[in-house]
């Protein structure tokens, strides 16, 4: 129980810091911390394969991609003085920010309200867990074989698309 609260607190805190930070590199690092906490939660839910895949794929590959892009673009922090000279529109006013925050608060209240209002006994994790990689593999290659193959085509499409989009026209600097 303590572990659950610990991981949950780290995940929520890190996610809040992601959206609050000005420097995009710090945002990426806090998101990695959040993913680590989520991986711990997956271990608590007796899904060790998903936990390791989360670290390998999400925290280890996708976030490295984000980090590369942030470093290569060397993007300035938002809302600097040079922005106004270059014609960037001014940052959203206070009212828009409050409206956005209110929307998020309404969303979370509604979602938690749905969970609470169902008024049933708390469902504990009673059923025996399927945590072995063999079972997941078997299911993946028999029941879910078609989505599996489609996913491979999807990744190929994403690969080609990313290369085409980021290719520079001849003569232009990065």
Q: Is 4 in the site for another protein (CB under 8 A)?
A: yes
Q: Closer to another protein at the Cβ: 124 or 170? A: 124
120: three-class secondary structure by DSSP: coil
Phi-psi region of 87 (alpha: psi -120 to 50; beta: other; left: phi over 0): left
Number of chain positions touching another protein (CB under 8 A)? 100
Cβ pair 23, 78 in contact under 8 A: no
Locate 9 and state its tokens: 């607190």
Query: Which one of residues 6, 12, 84, 145 is an interface residue with another protein (CB under 8 A)?
Result: 12
Draw the binding track, 39-78, toward another protein (x: CB under 8 A; -: no contact): --xx-xxxxxxx-xxxxxxxxxxx-xxxxxxxxxx-x--x
Asked if 76 contacts 82 with a C-beta cutoff of 8 angstroms, the reply is: yes
Residue 73 burial (10 A CB sphere; 0-12, 13-18, 19+): exposed
Q: Is 154 in the site for another protein (CB under 8 A)?
A: yes
Contacting another protein within 113-152 (CB under 8 A): 115-116, 122-125, 127-130, 133, 135-136, 139-140, 144, 147, 151
CA atoms of 113 and 104, how far apart (whole Å) = 14
Restricting to residues 78-107, which ones interact with another protein according to CB under 8 A?
78-79, 83, 86, 88-89, 91-92, 97, 100-101, 103-105, 107
Q: Which of residues 21-40 bind another protein (CB under 8 A)?
A: 24-25, 27-29, 31-32, 34-35, 38
Under rule CB under 8 A, residue 10 binds another protein: no
Strands (E) located in the chain: none
Binds another protein by CB under 8 A, chosen from 6, 84, 145, 159: 159
Please check whether residue 3 is in contact with residue 40, taking contact to mean a CB–CB distance below 8 angstroms: yes
**CB 12, min distance to another protein, A:** 6
Q: What are phi and psi of 19, to 5 degrees?
A: -85, -10
Of the pair 81, 165, the CB lying nearest another protein is at 165
Q: How far apart are CB 132 and another protein at their closest, in Å?
A: 8
What span, in angstroms and rounded, lies between the C-alpha atoms of 35 and 54?
7
């Amino acid at each position: 129980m303590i572990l659950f609260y610990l991981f949950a607190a780290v995940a929520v805190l890190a996610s809040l810091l992601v959206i609050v930070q000005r420097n995009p590199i710090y945002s990426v690092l806090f998101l990695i911390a959040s993913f680590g906490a989520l991986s711990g939660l997956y271990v608590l839910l007796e899904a060790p394969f998903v936990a390791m895949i989360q670290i390998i794929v999400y925290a280890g590959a996708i976030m490295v991609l984000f980090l590369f892009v942030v470093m290569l673009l060397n993007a300035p922090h938002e809302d600097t003085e040079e922005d106004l000279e270059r014609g960037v529109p001014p940052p959203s006013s206070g009212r828009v920010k409050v409206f956005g925050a209110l929307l998020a608060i309404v969303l979370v209240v509604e979602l938690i309200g749905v969970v609470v209002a169902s008024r049933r006994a708390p469902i504990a994790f009673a059923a025996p867990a399927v945590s072995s990689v063999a079972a997941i593999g078997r299911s993946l290659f028999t029941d879910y074989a078609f989505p599996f193959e489609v996913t491979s085509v999807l990744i190929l499409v994403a690969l080609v698309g990313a290369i085409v989009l980021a290719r520079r026209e001849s003569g232009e600097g990065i």
